[in-house]
Amino acid sequence: MKVLVAVKRVVDYNVKIRVKADGSGIDTGNVKFSMNPFDEIAVEEAVRLKEAGKASEIVAVSMGPAIAHETIRTALAMGADRGILVTSDEELQPLAVAKLLKAIVEREAPKLVILGKQAIDDDANQTGQMLAALLGWPQGTFASKVVLHSDTAEVTREVDGGLEMVALTLPAVVTTDLRLNEPRYASLPNIMKAKKKPIDTLTPAELGVDVTPRLVTLKVEEPPKRKSGIKVGSVAELVDRLKNEAKVI
């Protein structure tokens, strides 16, 4: 079984985001980038499936500027077999990414596509669902457990009321949640081996996909600073402040 995993290059989650002075976006100058944490979980799950004998090949796919090949190399060091990079200097919004992934899926014919449930830069949580809709495949989103059989997959997913298990007929799309697994650190030998693994480079034009943005960002601004809290001496004082100052009761 071939497994395709989508990975995205994002600003590292440890970096404090700075907004540009003109409000046109975030300042990415001299900022550390890394693989989206949810995509790390997706790669780890694919590698575990291969180690368990359920998957035969793992293909890591990324989209964006040419430097995104570093993100694919990280996936290769974790255990993916080869990579595909779709280079574009355009802003790639979720629908464009889903269409590009659909074109790659049609080329590669995997039986399972695994994505992070969302990227930490735009928090859209749309690509996996859009991809499944475009392909006409079943989907298991917010996965906290994945069990593969020969032609089906059982996905335990997190919902507001607890856990829900869905049975999917392969091929299918799965998006990963935080509790699915703990991603491994790439060892130095595997990092060196990853440098020799192949990465194919494509463009949206070669895949026949129009990636023109459908949405326009009007302005980006930091959230207002929260006022410091206060301590109250009694329940009665708390109720009085909620009623007369905050006016929430």
Distance (Å, rounded) from C-alpha 217 to C-alpha 115? 25
Element at 22 (helix H, strand E): none
Residues 6+ apart with CB under 8 A from 138: 132, 166, 168, 169, 172, 173
Helix (H, G, I), strand (E, B) or coil at 120: coil
Please tell me the predicted confidence (pLDDT) of residue 222: 86
Stretch 66-72: mean pLDDT, rounded? 95
Do residues 134 and 110 lie in contact, with contact meaning Cβ atoms separated by under 8 Å? Answer: no
What's the confidence (pLDDT) of residue 150?
A: 86
DSSP track, 167-230:
EEESSEEEEE-GGG--PPPPPHHHHHHHTTS-EEEE-HHHHT-----S-------PPPPPPPP-
Q: Counting every residue, how long is the chain? A: 249
**Quick one: average pLDDT of 179-184?**
94
Q: If one looks up domain 2-244 in CATH, what number appears?
A: 3.40.50.620
Rounded CA gap, 49 and 69, in Å? 24
Residue 134 pLDDT level (bands cut at 50, 70, 90):
very high
Residue 142 has pLDDT above 90, yes or no: yes
Match 């026949």 to its residue by tokens: 208
Contact 115, 6 (CB under 8 A): yes
d(CA 83, CA 102): 16
pLDDT at position 158 is 87
Lowest mean pLDDT among 25-34, 65-74, 85-94, 144-153: 25-34
- Rounded to a whole number of angstroms, the distance between the first and last alpha carbons of the chain is 58
**Residue in the structure block whose two tokens are 């790639």:** 92
Instruction: Please report how the helices 94-108 and 127-135 are oriented relative to each other, as an axis angle in degrees rounded to 10.
Output: 50
Q: pLDDT category, 194, cuts 50, 70, 90?
A: very high
pLDDT at 228: 84
Residue 26 has what DSSP assignment?
B
Angle at 120 between CA 35 and CA 89, to 5 degrees: 65
Is the confidence at residue 226, as pLDDT, over 90? no
CA 210 and chain centroid, separation? 21
pLDDT for the residue 132: 97
**Boundaries of every domain in the chain:** 2-244
90 confidence band (pLDDT: 50, 70, 90) = confident
pLDDT of residue 246: 82
Grade residue 17 by pLDDT with cuts at 50, 70 and 90.
confident
| Local confidence band at 230 (pLDDT 50, 70, 90 cut-offs) | confident
Q: Please say whether the beta carbons of 72 and 65 come within 8 A.
A: no
State residue 161's pLDDT score.
84
Provide the mean pLDDT of the chain. 93
